[in-house]
Amino acid sequence: MSNTMLTLSPEPSVRWLEALDLLELRSSLQGLRINASVTYWLDFSTLDFDQAVLMLDRIVVADESIPIVCMVSFPRDEEAFALLGRGARGYCHVAAAAPQLRLVESTVRSGGFWLPTSLMRRFMSGAGGLVSQMSDQPEVSFDDLTKRERQVAQSVSNGLSNREIAVRLNISERTVKARLTAVFQKLGVRDRVQLALLMRGGTS
């Protein structure tokens, strides 16, 4: 699989070259055809934050199943939650070693999510908080979901995009979006990341 690094760095780092096959460096998406077979890496350490977010949004709009990794100099919980909520699948330090970058790529390409270990612990702790919050509100539970809504929610938990869910369940993408909206409202979550964590924490 090929990789595109969106960065203002004039040259790729040695770590990037060691870890990522068929690496292409770009400073913007202008003139670039977004391809589902490519993993996109956004170098937030050099790009303007707002511009990088716009790039992320553009890739997600083109195909939300495309794996996107955000690389930052100072990982922060709130930033990680926000970027994964917008459609990124990975969030890591820009100076991560080559072996870790290979793991990140493998994880996101297989449909999983990647966070630094310290953030993942807090992330899962947050998911536990959501489950506890649900238990304190008996009117909100997984039993409130219809069979189809549960199927959609579980598919999101498994990392599938709306398009992939539609194909798997033999329904339209519009129906997937409608079911997902209902799931969000019933479970009190804001985005796919919270839903995935809640499903994993609440169905274990």
pLDDT in tens, the chain (204 residues): 799 999 999 898 999 999 999 899 999 999 889 998 999 999 999 999 999 999 999 999 888 889 999 999 998 888 888 898 888 999 999 999 999 999 999 989 888 888 877 776 666 665 545 445 444 444 446 788 899 999 998 888 777 778 888 888 999 988 998 998 999 888 888 777 778 777 765 544
For residues 173 and 162, the answer to whether their CB atoms sit within 8 Å is yes
7 and 106 assigned to the same domain: yes
Q: Is 2 helix (H, G, I), strand (E, B) or coil?
A: strand
pTM over 0.85: no
Q: Distance (Å, rounded) from C-alpha 96 to C-alpha 8?
A: 18
87 and 105 assigned to the same domain: yes
**Which residues, including other chains, have CB under 8 Å from residue 133's CB and lie 6 or more apart?**
188
Q: What is the CATH number of the domain that holds 194?
A: 1.10.10.10
The number of folded domains in the chain is 2
Q: What is the CATH number of the domain that holds 46?
A: 3.40.50.2300
For residue 56, the enclosing domain spans 2-115
